[in-house]
Structure 1
Amino acid sequence: MKKIAVILGTRPEAIKYGLVINGLKEDGRFDVIVISTGQHKEMLDDTLAVFGIKPDYNLAVMQPGQTLAQVTARITDGLAKLLPEIAPDALTVHGDTGTTLAAALSGFHHQIPVIHIEAGLRSGNNNSPFPEEGNRKLVAQIASLHLAPTPGNSANLIREGIQEKNIVITGNTVVDSLLWAVNSQYPSTNKIVDDLKDDPRKIILASVHRREAWAKIPDIARTIREISLRDDVRVVIPMHKNPVVRNALKVELSGLQNVDLIEPLNYLDFCHVMKRADIILSDSSGAEEEGPTLGKPTLILRSLTERPEATYSGSAILVGSSGDLIISHVNQILDNLRSFRSSNVKTDHYGDGLATSRVIGAIANYFGLGPAVQPFFSGCEMSQGNDLAANTV
């Protein structure tokens, strides 16, 4: 039996890790230790609870107003004390957060093999998203096993000199979690979920939170305000906990008849709101994958993306922060909603719901405990030319 330390710290990691953690725990080949850094506090614990997971250890690094350097230092310091005690055979990290980088660095310091789930995503610009793009590139130099969601992600790693034998294409576990969530039967904990079911208006689910977008949030909010003037529209905005984001949204959008500024939804409620929505308008990396998977027209509030697959099929459109461009696309979709619903905007480019089993199988194979995994293939090849085209607004 191999001891695996699973390290996570944010809500998105919990969403994408939940089924993997439970699958590893149910597999007799592994002894699983779950370590929370507490980079996100309440939102992380609440999301893990949806999957019935309670961390074995919590570093509780979250402090108000902390810098990226402080987060990294607190995590590496906490793991420096904990990892020798646990002595795992490998540790897994996910994606591109501060926790991801600090945990991978800690594994390197303690000569513990690092397994990187959701590896190989690249926007091509270290400042967008910041610091995530740099984080994931640095982790790629440390990891021993790279679990890439798509063929394009694998190609990115190979171009950077990662040996193909150390890469497995798995699909993205966010798709597994999404399909599990929207098919779950549970009593909603937020009245807005039930309220939206009977609302005849066209529903726009909107969010903005990225660090590089902070200066643009007032402009984006004013654009949403103009869209909300349509009588046939209702805009639902779960506000990020960061006060910079919340204050900017409240100044421009509080008290508007067709806009709901609400607290963050729990994961199951959020998935059901996505399922009800007619358009998703967001700079969230999760929404970029979830919206197209559900067949929802998805407008990405960014000028480039590390998840370009859905932009090739038109399931997602990069609109940046330009008010005129956002309004033009929103109106076009709303005025032709029946056509969009009947068109092929649903995509499986990010996964087929079997990523969790591939991730577990790849980890087992790494230790010689199982056969090689048949890789996921979405049918969406990415060339350098396509990458540049997809990242241009």
Structure 2
Amino acid sequence: MSLLAPPLSLYVHMPWCVKKCPYCDFNSHGVRSEPPPYDAYTDLLLADLDADLVDFGAAVQGRPIISVFFGGGTPSLFAPELIERFLDGARARLPFVDDCEITLETNPGTVEHGRFDGYLAAGVNRISFGVQSFDDDKLRRLGRIHSAVEAEAAVKSAQDAGYTNINLDLMYALPQQLLDGALADVERAIALQPTHVSHYQLTLEPNTAFAANPPPLPDDDHAWAMQEACEQRLAAAGYGQYEISAYAQPGRRCVHNLNYWRFGDYLGIGAGAHGKWSDVGDGQVHRRWKTRLPRAYMEARGGPARIGGDSLVSAAELPFEYMLNALRLVDGVPLADFSERTGLPPGRIAAMLAAARKRGWLREGPHQLHTTPLGQRFLNDVIASFLD
């Protein structure tokens, strides 16, 4: 089988936030006494993009961008004119599809009133709010800088500015949380009428403050009960689950994240950003990541020192890498996509598929990769079964 070039997205990392949350393992850095160099960083993002386009050559040049995602950190610390400057520069270098989804992650505690008008004018057409909870006690335990009232006000402000595509991030299985509390968070989210809800379990990640001093969390059975109950409530409100932690109104699934889960390609720009691209010419899947520390990234000024590493995804690794993403999708993916995105023949995973079906993890059927409810519950075990 030959490798086909999948859709291409653009991820842009903004590494600064007001305060590092104790559960966060992202490449984020709290703002200290002096404000970060937002203006200079924006220009260096474009220099980074220029250098990647030269390095990757025909593998990416001229391919249309289907989505852009500004992640962090807290991208809403960057003024709208800086977001516009980057987007204008990116469009001058790469074609954007007409309906390109452009998402900006936003902390409800950092957005100034009126800024949403500016982001909309800059070209951002989707806002993602890191709400996490509508319980002020839980927000304090999570180290968040906003209150529930501020979160609701921020969402309504974005809606008043004209945003019709809004995601709310919610967590469950929070410290000492009960089922009623998890459901109450979902109810308050639904009342705001977002188009999309990301609902995921709080986990203790290595090298975080919570990992060093774990808070009292619900056990696995209670966490599973919260997930099931919240899933049912979201479904009743018209939010269809299409991925383990993603729920959307009809026609509002996240284009950017779907491209990740379908093993699409993405350029990673900014400190600590990761990218993945398929080179049809050499038949290989490549990865690149950028150096993590903002100061080191900026000192590289778009030069080779900005690169944290490059790697080829080996044929032995590709089945696991593909399933790590694709099996998160509730509806699964066509089996033919495996070969198109990896360049490997279907026979490469035939024995693995047979073993997973025998365990009841995958549905029967020769044309679709699709987990059963049991497979969804034990997804980590399912994915691990595709390790070579």
User: How high is the TM-score relative to the length of structure 1?
Assistant: 0.31
Which structure carries more relative contact order (alpha carbon 8 Å, separation 6+)?
A: 2
More helix by share: 1
TM-score, normalised by the number of residues in structure 2: 0.31
Higher strand share: 2
